[in-house]
Chains A and B, each alone.
Chain A
């Protein structure tokens, strides 16, 4: 059960877009369309932003979008806003009732 690989940091100016990658293997990210993304502000619980690769829960702005190609999933935040500054984690179902999270990416709004 290895951790999915994410870049440690990403940044962008207000209004710009930032894309975060999440790389796994054919046993997790590449094997299932069960990739989800979570936003976590300091001292707070994680918040679900994307599920099943590209679906948004109600209440999540459409500035957040997800995609997947092969063993790599991506989260794109368009029209960056100050409140988007947070840590972001991907998560994938890994078969046999196991789940694996990504290493996390700190997004900074310049």
Chain B
């Protein structure tokens, strides 16, 4: 069974850093394209970043240069390093596995990041 579990969220001051983790089971992260998607409180979904099987990473303009998506194949775990955090980064962050045709078929339960002083 495919399972994804995010962790690492919490309260952080503006300008601070946080690293989110997404532990995967039931499949190999290195063999799938994976994404981070976030949702601000009461708002819609926003695509954040993607990592492809070859390791290439791409980012939404809103986080480019501040966030870094990586994976540890030995631990079957994904990471999102978030630096220079802003209030507008406050959201629930979901990791998701690609399904078919550039869609996201498996989602974790999400982890809440709150950026506030």
Contact = CB atoms under 8 A, between A and B. Distances in A.
Interface residues of B, number: 26
B101 interface: yes
B45 A89 contact: yes
Interface string B43-59: 01111001010001010
A32 B101 CA distance: 10
Interface of A: 1, 3, 32-34, 36, 38, 40, 45-48, 51-52, 55, 57, 89, 91, 93, 96-104
Interface of B: 35, 37, 44-47, 50, 52, 56, 58, 60-62, 94, 96, 99-105, 107-110
A103 B101 contact: no
Nearest to B62: A1
A1 B52 CA distance: 20
